Structure 1
Amino acid sequence: MIVNVREGKLEGTTNKSVLTGKEYYSFLGIRYAKPPIGDLRFQPPVPIEKWNGILDAKNEGSPCIQYTNENIDIIGSEDCLFLNIHTPEAILLLLPSKIKIPKPVMVFIHGGAFVNGSGGSKTLGPDYLIIHDVVYVTLNYRLHSLGFLNLGISECSGNCGLKDQLLALKWIKENINQFGGDRNNITIFGESAGAISVHLHMLSPLSKGIFSKTIAQSGTALVSFSLNENPTETAFKLGRELDFVGNDPKEFVEFLKNQSAENLLKAAEKTQRLYCKELIGTASPLIFAPSIEVIKNDAFLPDHPKNLLKTAEPLPFLVGLNDKEGRLIYSVQSLQEDFSIVIKQNIPCHYSKIKELSDKVQKFYFGDKPICSETDDEISNLYTDLYFLNLYESFQYITKSNFPVYIYEFSFYGKFNVFSQRFMKNATTGASHADELPYLFYSNKFCKNISEIKEPEKTVINNICSMWTNFAKTGNPTDGMKDVEWKPSTFDNPRYLQINKDLTLKEGKIFEKRFSFLKNIYEFATEYPPK
């Protein structure tokens, strides 16, 4: 299965969807940039050069070096800038086909808190989406310090991971027609850190004109973990873990370039843990995350997202969250030990207000109930709101645009809610952060046998994949679907689709009472002097 792209020839392979047996082509491990090693470490990605002969594209490339299995094992490599393309039809050199109508392109940006994850098929398999006649693409980008260190100098200006994504998108736009894709109809979508990335691409002046629609699952540029607002300060925390002495950023970069990628990863993980312990207020809990760039020439993020929101060109947007996002952050023990500390870590306030503020929050979420395993749902709701309150705020900005905005709440609990099952074993309803992913992507990690896909899971898979691909095709997620019409949300008429066993359009805002309460709490917390 050979195609001809700008740089040369690629040989892929043929597969069949586990759901329907539909045949599709896969081209895996395609380099879109030079290996970001040596002098290219901490630098924007450099486009790949042309090659001679036929490049083997039958195996996925390495993910970025990262921890897995509870921060015990290290996998991946610093040489990780690869993408994967799955397509129902391609312009094959040996079996030429005439593609009359190019297919919509969907590019997924993986999550993982900017420190782990990849575009690999073990968790992001194409089998569910590909049967809806779209071209599906995944990509890898640099993570943790390798992708997001920012020292405010040209040698390390920040956001390399986002610039990797951007170069991959440019490669896709230039070459996707050879894979049967429509270069003028590219939808980017992502989850968690990937959703933040998607929204930042909407705001970045460098990404303009590359894609036409966007989907953000459980994240936007305004959530509390989307931005490191003190990147230079936190960068030097990494230096202390590596025994760097000094405060000159150029010396520091040279020092870091002489470290192995494994040493950088170990130091980054330790720095992150120590940072979270000392975290107070609404600083991002992520030390390696997107940041505003001091070097403005070709800056991906030249200003704060709130400012860029006011000037960015709006696009059709599908955005939402899961009803029990907070299960991923769930912690009974820390709440039991000192409720006020958890509140102070997430809500900036004067020390004299902490007791009153924490009492208000505890009363609202728990009433007279104790904080224990019997109040799992209440704990989950609290963490959902503390970490995702600003996602609700994003809706207010987004719905002011003239383009359609579709808002959803995913609340289905089924056999493949693997993250709920991991973090809250007694859960029987609701969806944790990332629980929607196994219904959108086939994963042989979570679904060992196709016979496991029964009702109602099969209906949920069909519904979410139909809506996501419909949106990519026409901009209307329920186009041609029976029994439901997903109407866009506007600032004056908010509404959202609840995705469960059934699809239900609801008027109003998601978690409206909780949103209003926490908004008032933040206003109370930031009053100074205290009343």
Structure 2
Amino acid sequence: MSFVRIKMYIRIVFVLVATVSYCHGYICDAILVKLPQGTIDGITSISGNGKEYYSFQEIPYAAPPIDKLRFKEPQPPTPWTDIRETCINKKVCMQKNESALTHVPSDMTISEDCLYLNVYTPQKPGTSEQPLPVLFYIHGGGFFYGSGARQYHEPKYFMDYDVVVVTFNYRLGPFGFLTTADDVIPGNLGLKDQLYALKWTVENINLFGGDADKITVVGESAGATSAGFMQLSKRTEDLTNEQLAYFQNMLDSNLNLTVHPRLNINPEQLSQAAKEYKEVYTKTNFSDDAAAYIKYIGEDVFSTPNIHHAALVSKKAPVYFYEFSYRGQMGVQDLPVFPGANNVGHTEDLHYLFGGIEGVSEPLSQFPDEDRQTMKKMLTLWTNFVKTLNPTPVKDELLNNVSWPMMKCGEPLNFLSINRTLVPLVNPKYYTKVKQVLDKYVKPPYYVY
């Protein structure tokens, strides 16, 4: 998970209109907002603590990318004249359901017409209350599956912490990332959708009680990568045992594959670099040491580049890094256990932030108090950052009176271990040892890390 604060200054005038509308089996609640393209009607929902909040789902932030707009950059949405019902999510972007790790719910449709976003706010639109900070969430899924729909990421727990939440879909797979390296099919359309959704948010979020000057971009997995891309962009100034075996044997038979092919290493030094890289994790074969392989693949794909990115960014902006290591009943329950490897899975922290199929959909009352307390800690840390750019701005008994230290490049790398207690630590994972190997062998120009 990554945090990025985007600060922009755009002013919008809004008007509210009162009427009644209906939504395909859901009764909208005449919670009306007039957008530049037309008026939308939302629905009143109930937060985790039983407080009313206001949902607007499937708001078009761009024109449907179909027909002549297929494989083109996102374009402005088409205006509408009738009141548009926005109280249910029905569409996800094109994806192969059979290969998606999270399958599309039966009440949703896979469609090319999918560029919609959702706004959830505890503040009734049209009131004169103080604008609230905004959490702009980018869903994960390896850039080939997933959705920002409510069925995936239910924001009801965030609504008790006085922040506005925005989630959205972006084009996936070949529809979002195929390119002919020219104007016929320009590259990274999915990322351009994300930027378009952010631009829409900056221009319109004040209509929902959000503060356009306090937008924090948050992402998980591919979404965290996207948040990092946004930070760098000038435009914004889970394997089965049969598979955890195939790749282990492949790496054992060709040691050079342990090193990313885009790392710029002298071919004559590649074998030695790969040997030293592997020996950070094990001095035997990966096929004989499953725990070492799990650590290697998790860090090589996820944590090492994330830590490196965070360390570099810490030169320019406040960075708070964490490791989620709490193992509770609210988390993923069907993970295989390998002695010596960590037993908390990728995406498990989402279960302590969201409802829905990517979070926790069961009643919270059925989980142990320790799980519910962990959820409170997570939500408090996240929303504190969204509000103040500091996850622990004051001493808080819920947070064990801990001050989460910032990561500072050039110093031992501070991070927070989030477990049954919150513990500040330094130098996460095997990053320091990996960095010593990479710094020894990798030469400019730098393409990956």
Name the structure 1 match of 2:374.
460
One-letter code aligned to 2:136 = V
One-letter code aligned to 1:491 = C
Post-superposition Cα deviations, 1:232-273, rounded to whole Å, max 9, x if no partner, equal xxxxxxxxxxxxxxxxxxxxxxxxxxxxxxxxxxxxxxxxxx
Work out which structure has the larger RCO, using CA pairs closer than 8 Å and 6 or more positions apart in sequence.
Answer: 2
Query: Are residues 384 and 144 of structure 1, via their aligned partners in 2, closer, same or farther at CA, if it must alter by over 3 Å?
Result: same
Contact 2:404–2:424, Cα closer than 8 Å, also in 1: yes
Contact 1:334–1:342, Cα closer than 8 Å, also in 2: no
One-letter code aligned to 2:248 = L
Separation in 1, partners of 2:149, 2:66: 21
Tell me the TM-score normalized by structure 1. 0.68
Tell me the TM-score normalized by structure 2. 0.80
Separation in 1, partners of 2:243, 2:149: 27
Q: Note the 1:218-297 alignment, pairs <5 A.
A: none
Separation in 2, partners of 1:328, 1:144: 25
Query: Are residues 328 and 449 of structure 1, via their aligned partners in 2, closer, same or farther at CA, if it must alter by over 3 Å?
Result: farther
Q: Note the 1:294-309 alignment, pairs <5 A.
A: none
* TM-aligned CA deviation for residue 42 of structure 1: 1.2
Say which SS state the counterpart of residue 68 (structure 1) adopts.
coil
Q: 1:134 aligns with which of 163, 173, 179?
A: 163
Separation in 1, partners of 2:164, 2:242: 34
Q: 1:498 aligns with which of 417, 425, 428?
A: 417
One-letter code aligned to 1:82 = Y
* TM-aligned CA deviation for residue 362 of structure 1: 5.1
Structure 1 runs not aligned, ≥5 long: 93-97, 209-324
Q: Note the 1:100-179 alignment, pairs <5 A.
A: 100-179=129-208
Q: 1:488 aligns with which of 406, 411, 424?
A: 406
Contact 1:36–1:79, Cα closer than 8 Å, also in 2: yes
State the identity as a percent: 32
Post-superposition Cα deviations, 1:267-290, rounded to whole Å, max 9, x if no partner, equal xxxxxxxxxxxxxxxxxxxxxxxx
Separation in 2, partners of 1:341, 1:425: 27
* TM-aligned CA deviation for residue 430 of structure 1: 3.6
Structure 2 runs not aligned, ≥5 long: 1-30, 444-449
Name the structure 2 match of 1:339.
252
Name the structure 2 match of 1:432.
345
Q: 1:406 aligns with which of 320, 331, 342?
A: 320
Query: Are residues 5 and 155 of structure 1, via their aligned partners in 2, closer, same or farther at CA, if it must alter by over 3 Å?
Result: same
Say which SS state the counterpart of residue 11 (structure 1) adopts.
strand
Query: Are residues 362 and 5 of structure 1, via their aligned partners in 2, closer, same or farther at CA, if it must alter by over 3 Å?
Result: closer
One-letter code aligned to 1:3 = V
Say which SS state the counterpart of residue 2 (structure 1) adopts.
strand
Contact 2:402–2:422, Cα closer than 8 Å, also in 1: yes
| 1:185 pairs with 2:193 | no
Contact 2:119–2:165, Cα closer than 8 Å, also in 1: yes
Contact 1:413–1:431, Cα closer than 8 Å, also in 2: yes
| 1:379 pairs with 2:413 | no
Most deviating of 342-351 and 52-61: 342-351
Say which SS state the counterpart of residue 201 (structure 2) adopts.
helix
* TM-aligned CA deviation for residue 353 of structure 1: 6.6
One-letter code aligned to 2:297 = Y
Separation in 1, partners of 2:329, 2:61: 37
Equivalenced residues, count:
397
Name the structure 2 match of 1:70.
99
Query: Are residues 516 and 329 of structure 1, via their aligned partners in 2, closer, same or farther at CA, if it must alter by over 3 Å?
Result: farther
| 1:207 pairs with 2:254 | no
Calculate the aligned-residue CA RMSD, in Å.
Answer: 2.9
Separation in 2, partners of 1:149, 1:332: 30
Query: Are residues 129 and 327 of structure 1, via their aligned partners in 2, closer, same or farther at CA, if it must alter by over 3 Å?
Result: farther
Name the structure 2 match of 1:307.
none
Post-superposition Cα deviations, 1:34-92, rounded to whole Å, max 9, x if no partner, equal 11011111111111132112101111141101022435988611100000111111225
Separation in 2, partners of 1:56, 1:25: 13
Separation in 1, partners of 2:408, 2:439: 25
Separation in 1, partners of 2:173, 2:364: 35
Separation in 1, partners of 2:242, 2:346: 9
Post-superposition Cα deviations, 1:336-383, rounded to whole Å, max 9, x if no partner, equal 4651436515444778777766655555423468845xx443221111
